[in-house]
Each structure stands twice: as structure tokens, then as C-alpha cells.
């Protein structure tokens, strides 16, 4: 392989990726501390670019990269890549959702069980000297109907885990059909709103899905329910979620993602919403770690290495 082929990795990844690429003859610059501005300054020298969430790969960056053959996301979301413009430039764009789907599924299940059984609330109370048993009586998952919005890698892995809990699973995916199995039934958003006890969001962030989950949809549910979001913050209007919880339409929510995850940059309105989230014992928050396990970091590296190798074998 031509040793002048250079790949830039801009975020922390498992050593398997850059060591494997170097073994294949690539020159790899592993620069996890590089800034987006610095990437733009040096991108002209590279055939490959590996990013996570720090760098946006769009027309401005692509126009500075005459040698670029591929850009890939170390993770699942493709909202950080302008896919259409990449196609126009002949640049392959791909991600690695296979690598962290199980991690997301396990995190979603853990958050759901914490919600249903008041585990976080009870833990805090016991550690402060309160022994409240009746106030923390839980709800069993068995017998419930789970609604999945989108049925991609993470939702499919979540449904697999739920299969042993004696639940009914309804899944909606606008772009995928004929995926039903013994555990999962294909459903419309209206059917999910009519029957679900739990709503779990697995939507990618696109212009079509941005703020899809709003007051109109949340208030259309026929039963009081629990909500999980391990996908992207901006598919859900957080203020509308809070409104529905306060109106008694939603028991509680578990959010691994927020509309603005850079907490130091919150404007006045965002700060008000965040304070309401943080103060509400019915809401669980984690810092976008659903896919963030030691195992998933290795799996993502393995998946990307396989896909980059396949790309060059096809050239």
C-alpha cells in the first residue's frame, strides 16, 4: 500500500484503529486534542478523516480537502457529516452504529428500570437517612407495551434485551419495513400513542426528525407513560416534555441527551429548562454515555477498521 496515504483521527479512539491502519501501510495522525479550526487548516493533506462530534464535515471542510476519499464517524450519528455534499464530491461517508448498539440498549434498559423502580430517588433518600418504602413502591416492566420511535441498530438491540421481560413491543420506522418478529410489531406513531406505556426514542437527527417529539405528539398519548431518549437531544422539545410531566401526562423521563449538551454555553432560556430538569426527581439525566462503554470503544474501532479496509479493497 502507498505509504503516502494519510488519515487524520480527530477524537479519542481505541488503539486498534490507528494501529491496524498503520499495519496496513497508512500514515495515521492520531490527534484527539486537535480543534475543528486546526482540522480545517491541515485537511488538504489527508485521504481519510475520522471524526466524532467535535468536527462538522460539510462543504467548507470538503472544499479544502482535494485528496479526501472518506470521512467516517466513530459512533452512530451522521448529523455531523453533510452526506449529500460528500456524495457530490465523491467522498465516502459512513459511521459505526454496530459498535455501540448493545451499549446503548443496555443503558436504555438500565434507565428504564431505574425509572420504574425509583432506584435513583430511593438511593438518594437512604443515603440522607430516609427509609421510605411505600413512597418508592415500584412498577414492574412485565405486561407493559413499549413504543420504539425508529428501528435501527440501537432500537433493535433494545428490543432484543426486552424480549425476556414479557412485554409487547411496537416499533415505527418510516424508512424500514417488514422487520417484525416474535417480539416486535410494526406500528404507526398513532398506534404507539394509543397503546404504549413506555416511549423510547431512537431517532437519528435530521431536518425531518428535529423536534419531531413535541407537545402535540406527547399529549396525544392515551395512557400516562414513561419516556426514554438515548438518541439525540434535538429530536425532543424538552420544554414540552416538562410541560407534559407537570400536567400529569408522563410519569417520568430518562434523558441521556440534551438539546444543548455544552452546559457552560446555555442561554437564559436553556438554563431555566436545565434547572427544571435537574430539580425534578421524576427525571433522570446522564451525560450522553449510553454508547460510551469500554467494550463499545473497542467495537467501534474494529468496525471502522473493517469498513476502511473494505473501501480501499473496492478502489
Query: Catalytic site residues?
Result: 232, 261, 288
- The dihedrals phi and psi of 194, each to the nearest 5 degrees, come to -80, -30
Helix residue ranges, H only, 180-237: 189-195, 215-218
Residues 6+ positions from 205 with CB-CB distance below 8 Å? 77, 79, 231, 232, 234, 235
d(CA 99, CA 300): 4
CA gyration radius, the chain: 21
Helix residue ranges, H only, 46-196: 59-62, 83-88, 97-117, 119-127, 153-162, 189-195
Strand order in the sheet with 283-285: 184-186, 168-172, 145-149, 198-201, 225-229, 250-255, 283-285
Parallel, antiparallel or unpaired: strands 168-172 and 250-255: unpaired
d(CA 130, CA 156): 39
Amino acid at each position: 500500500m502507498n505509504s503516502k496515504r494519510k488519515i487524520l483521527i480527530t477524537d479519542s479512539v481505541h488503539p486498534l484503529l490507528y494501529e491496524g491502519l498503520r499495519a496496513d501501510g497508512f500514515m495515521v495522525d492520531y490527534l484527539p486534542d486537535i480543534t475543528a479550526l486546526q482540522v480545517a487548516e491541515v485537511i488538504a493533506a489527508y485521504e481519510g478523516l475520522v471524526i466524532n462530534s467535535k468536527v462538522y464535515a460539510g462543504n467548507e471542510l470538503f472544499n479544502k480537502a482535494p485528496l479526501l476519499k472518506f470521512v467516517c464517524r466513530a459512533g452512530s450519528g451522521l448529523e455531523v457529516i453533510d452526506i449529500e455534499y460528500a456524495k457530490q464530491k465523491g467522498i465516502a461517508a459512513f459511521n459505526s452504529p454496530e459498535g455501540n448498539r448493545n451499549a446503548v440498549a443496555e443503558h436504555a434498559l438500565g434507565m428504564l428500570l431505574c425509572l420504574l423502580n425509583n432506584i435513583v430517588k430511593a438511593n438518594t433518600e437512604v443515603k440522607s437517612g430516609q427509609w421510605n418504602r411505600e413512597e418508592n413502591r415500584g412498577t414492574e416492566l412485565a405486561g407493559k407495551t413499549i413504543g420504539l420511535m425508529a428501528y435501527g441498530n440501537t432500537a433493535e438491540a433494545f428490543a432484543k434485551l426486552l424480549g425476556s421481560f414479557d412485554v409487547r413491543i411496537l416499533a415505527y420506522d418510516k424508512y424500514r419495513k417488514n422487520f417484525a418478529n416474535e417480539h416486535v410489531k410494526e406500528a404507526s406513531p398513532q398506534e404507539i400513542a394509543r397503546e404504549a406505556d413506555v416511549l423510547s426514542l431512537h431517532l437519528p437527527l435530521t431536518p425531518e426528525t428535529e423536534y419531531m417529539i413535541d407537545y402535540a405528539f406527547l399529549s396525544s398519548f392515551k395512557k400516562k407513560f414513561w419516556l426514554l431518549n438515548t438518541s439525540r437531544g434535538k429530536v425532543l422539545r424538552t420544554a414540552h416534555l416538562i410541560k407534559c410531566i407537570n400536567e400529569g401526562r408522563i410519569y417520568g423521563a430518562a434523558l441521556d441527551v440534551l438539546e444543548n449538551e455544552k452546559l457552560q454555553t446555555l442561554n437564559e432560556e436553556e438554563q431555566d429548562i436545565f434547572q427544571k430538569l435537574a430539580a425534578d426527581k421524576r427525571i433522570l439525566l446522564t451525560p450522553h454515555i449510553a454508547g460510551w462503554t469500554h467494550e463499545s470503544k473497542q467495537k467501534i474501532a474494529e468496525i471502522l477498521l473493517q469498513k476502511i479496509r473494505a473501501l480501499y479493497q473496492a478502489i
